[in-house]
Chain A
């Protein structure tokens, strides 16, 4: 009994829980920065740079503006981080996930939304007009990527649920099982547009460079983060890193899950490799190549091009290809 609890605590805190998630997030973010730098023929920051940033923020003074609502201002980043870790625990990574339910895709979708909402609420509580504009943009970005995201999830759910009694699944465990039994989802031609759409959804969900309209430092003075300093800012930056892990791991679970060699270590290494590839394709490339989008460009891009890709997949799956 006590061993079970210890084992569960190990899962939550060490692997694939808190520690592993944070380390992975920091590494992926650092490697992403490095790759962007190399693509621009720069040396680039050290791979542990996000970690240094976090530590440095912890060492700074935390200023709470007079107009800010103190409790919400401090609580929002912390709650957002906790929610994101919880979402990460639903994602299987080389083995089964720590938590699972029959509809964990919907749960993950809403927990990710919750995390973004926390940054919005924190910004609103700071009382800064820059943050006000920033949160409005963040919300527009959310509306923009949510449509293709949902379409992708539905397409995968329909494909992977074809064996089950209901004909559809919202469960990541079922999707993984299905991929073990058949091929990984990405090997089906009908799902390739969905995978591309998902690659586009990832950077916007995270708020990476070409889509970081909410935190545009040059126009909006960091937007939602204008008034944040010290430890809460560090938590936001860490949340940002962890989101990289969550989104890439989600992509891996949805499209390339279920590949097992029987050894957990090898599985995890393969997954990390896949995560790196996904990071490169979805974040590094657009970051190195594009300048920041305008707000309405993001919106149009996601609701036309990306949504169309996802919709193609959904229709193809629906007619049984």
Chain B
């Protein structure tokens, strides 16, 4: 096996430097081919989409060894425009472990979404447009994370924003689709222009757009303008990650976009924002170790986390709820990234990839439910577990992961986040971090609560008669396969976090701290030293490490089996008895009445003082014999399905009565009504308001940056 790998890498040789650009170009090329031939043949179109999405994934996988394991950095000058003198004038790709980490996320998600789309989208028309836009979006995302040029990032963000707008409105006939797209276009453009302003300011100061060169020259050119540029860039990328206060947009977009695109938006586009934030904080400005930046980024994460999780608590739409949770989880990631410690960054990256997996899984299950029933309304759905058992199992895996229940992946990464934040708290002695830990843990419970709500009101509870028809059934296998892949990865990542940490997280986090290496690879050895950038001390991962779940997982398995065995042994004979006894009873019906009637007289005699009172009302033996059970009425009452196996309704006839989305937690919501009403007020759904929040956020960040940087 290793020989095969060696042969492959020998065969490829230095051509491996071309792999990143191949990956990007494949996606864009695919988009254009689909635009031309997509209309001709459905099978041809699907084959092309399959090929152009799997190739980038394989290319990224093949880069794991040279970059992740051997610690190399690939740089590639487009058109061979290598730097002249000390000035990088061409556009360069620079793929270090951090870029590759996000590149893997992007390509994996794109590949899975492509497979899912084949069936999921088959009821829509003009699919060639869908695939063209989808592939362009994917290409832009991959380009964003692999590029080494600041302006190139802006270009990719623009392509991303515009294709996303188009894809959101792809199902034009959906209620609110155009509205969501419109909102995103307005506020998204605000974010993009903010990035552009930041880039322009940096360019005016440093006269270069190459990331490595900016990183090299920034430390010696710190002034108010670069501080402002940082603020602009940060808030621009934050808007792409839908952080607070841009979070209402994602809900509007995700509630109406096709579910496959929702997975891309919440699973990958937000990740690109996170990637860009890591890039500018760790590599470009190297200011994450300043307490002001560190605390504000962490707090931003905590605020996003808390506000979104409470917003999600109140939602009645499956997809809207998931969208808010998405930002809440991104809040966790940003929180950990803001710590600026090696372990914190690893935790953040781990949660980022986990978020793609479980949130993708949840969006795909939501899509499956909508595909089968045509509804995403939590008040209307219910009891679908009988109709869609596989989807329900997948949903439960995703819900357990996002709520951080062991042994799923969400627990592994949240565990690391708590450890790192509290460690940071005791290192710095800053009480803010303690509050952040508490908020984290609380958000985890609230996340659990809202997923309990979804589980009860979509999959469990009672089946709405409206959906109790043969058309509502399990989704096709082609849609299940991508979901099972994601679910399997969720479990694997949760059970073997050490493996992930060793081969993916540590290299990626090290790359983020290794600024000198980044500069030197791009601009030649010694550039960093010349520019006066010290080799930053790469912090060792604290002794805490990852948690080791495997040993006790076996134990859990054994105990479960043991208890199952006992339960089976203890209960197997009951059912037979019951039926036997019932039959017996029915035969000796009349006789039984007489016998028990005679016996009863003795029982009452137990209390002698009662005898006088009792005997007045007792029936004579003769009367007792006359009485026989009135079978007809009893049969009438018990007619139809055996009431023994109906739900208990205090004796009433069992009827449809689903405890749905808005019924759950109403007491809690009523207690917190002031808070929830306040939330409802400012999430007005009005695009003017959202734009105002965006502008306000820019202003606040600017002031903060100029004051503290």
Chain A residues within CB distance 8 Å of chain B: 12, 18, 58-67, 69, 72, 74, 78-79, 81-83, 85-86, 89-90, 99, 101-103, 106-107, 109-111, 113-114, 117, 120-121, 124-130, 132-133, 135-137, 139-140, 142-143, 146-147, 150-151, 154, 157-158, 161, 165-168, 170, 221, 226-227, 230-232, 234-235, 295-296, 299-300, 314-315, 318
Contacts and interface: CB of A to CB of B under 8 A. Distances in A.
Contact of B427 (A67, A86, A167, A234): A167
A124 B555 contact: no
Contacts of A103: 415, 418-419, 544, 547
A166 B670 contact: no
A60 B577 CA distance: 10
Interface of B: 383, 385-386, 389, 392, 396, 400, 403-406, 411, 415, 418-419, 422-423, 425-427, 429, 431, 434, 437-438, 441-442, 445-446, 448-449, 452, 455-456, 459-463, 542-545, 547-548, 551-552, 555-556, 558-560, 562-564, 567, 570-571, 574-575, 577-578, 641, 644-650, 654, 657-659, 663-668, 670-671
Contact of B556 (A82, A235, A315): A82
The secondary-structure label for the interface of chain A is helix
Contacts of B456: 124, 132, 135-136
Contacts of A129: 461-462, 647, 649, 657-659
B547 A101 contact: yes
A7 to B, nearest CB: 15
A314 B438 CA distance: 11
Given A58-B571, A66-B645, A132-B659, A106 B415 contact: yes
B703 to A, nearest CB: 30
A296 B664 contact: no
A300 B442 CA distance: 15
Contact of A158 (B426, B427, B578): B426
A86 B552 contact: yes
Contacts of B463: 67
Contacts of B543: 102, 165-166
A110 B462 contact: no
18 contacts: A12-B555, A59-B574, A62-B575, A78-B560, A86-B555, A99-B551, A106-B415, A106-B419, A117-B400, A128-B647, A140-B449, A154-B438, A167-B423, A230-B574, A231-B570, A232-B567, A235-B567, A318-B431
A296 B544 contact: no
Nearest first, the 9 closest Cβ-Cβ pairs linking A and B are A132-B659, A167-B426, A124-B460, A231-B571, A58-B570, A82-B559, A82-B560, A168-B426, A136-B664
A16 to B, nearest CB: 14
B551 to A, nearest CB: 7
A62 B574 contact: yes
Most buried by B among A12, A135, A232, A235: A135
A133 B452 CA distance: 12
B645 A64 contact: yes
A61 B649 CA distance: 20
Contacts of A161: 426
A58 B570 CA distance: 6
Contacts of B547: 101-103, 107
B461 A61 contact: no
B327 to A, nearest CB: 20
Contact of B668 (A18, A65, A143): A143
A296 B667 contact: yes
Nearest to A294: B667
B226 to A, nearest CB: 35
A147 B442 contact: yes
A136 B662 CA distance: 11
Contacts of A101: 547-548
Contacts of B415: 103, 106-107
A111 B406 contact: yes
Given A63-B644, A99-B552, A140 B667 contact: yes
Given A127-B647, A296-B670, A78 B445 contact: no
B385 A72 contact: yes
A166 B423 contact: yes
B411 A110 contact: yes
Given A61-B577, A143-B446, A132 B461 contact: yes
Contacts of B562: 18
Contact of A135 (B452, B645, B668): B452
A170 B421 CA distance: 12
Given A65-B647, A126-B647, A129-B659, A140 B668 contact: yes
Contacts of B423: 166-168
Contacts of A125: 385, 460
Nearest to B445: A146
Given A106-B415, A142-B449, A165-B543, 13 more contacts: A61-B577, A67-B462, A83-B556, A102-B545, A106-B418, A127-B647, A129-B461, A129-B647, A139-B664, A143-B668, A154-B422, A227-B647, A318-B431
B405 A117 contact: yes
Interface centre among B456, B558, B578, B658, by most chain A C-beta atoms within 10 angstroms, is B456
Contact of B406 (A69, A110, A135, A299): A110
A170 B663 CA distance: 38
A63 B666 CA distance: 31
A132 B562 CA distance: 30
Contacts of B671: 296, 299-300
A67 B556 contact: no
Given A103-B547, A139-B665, A127 B461 contact: yes
A94 to B, nearest CB: 20
B659 A78 contact: no
Nearest to B672: A299
Contacts of A121: 396, 452, 455, 460
Contacts of B644: 63
Contacts of B389: 69
B571 A139 contact: no
B549 to A, nearest CB: 8
B659 A133 contact: yes
Contact of B563 (A89, A170, A235): A235
Contact of B441 (A78, A150, A296): A150
A198 B462 CA distance: 38
B405 to A, nearest CB: 5
A173 to B, nearest CB: 13
Nearest to B462: A127
Contacts of B670: 296
B280 to A, nearest CB: 29
Given A86-B555, A127-B462, A140 B386 contact: no
A99 B559 contact: no
Given A166-B542, A299-B668, A300-B671, A127 B552 contact: no
B445 A143 contact: yes
A235 B566 CA distance: 10
Contacts of A146: 441-442, 445
A227 B456 CA distance: 15
Nearest to B557: A82
A64 to B, nearest CB: 7
A165 B562 CA distance: 41
Nearest to A295: B667
B552 to A, nearest CB: 5
Contacts of A79: 560
A67 B383 contact: yes
Nearest to B455: A124
Contacts of A127: 383, 460-462, 647
A99 B456 CA distance: 34
A61 to B, nearest CB: 4
A130 B425 CA distance: 44
Contacts of A78: 560, 563-564, 567
A223 B548 CA distance: 37
A162 to B, nearest CB: 9
A86 B560 CA distance: 10
Nearest to A121: B455
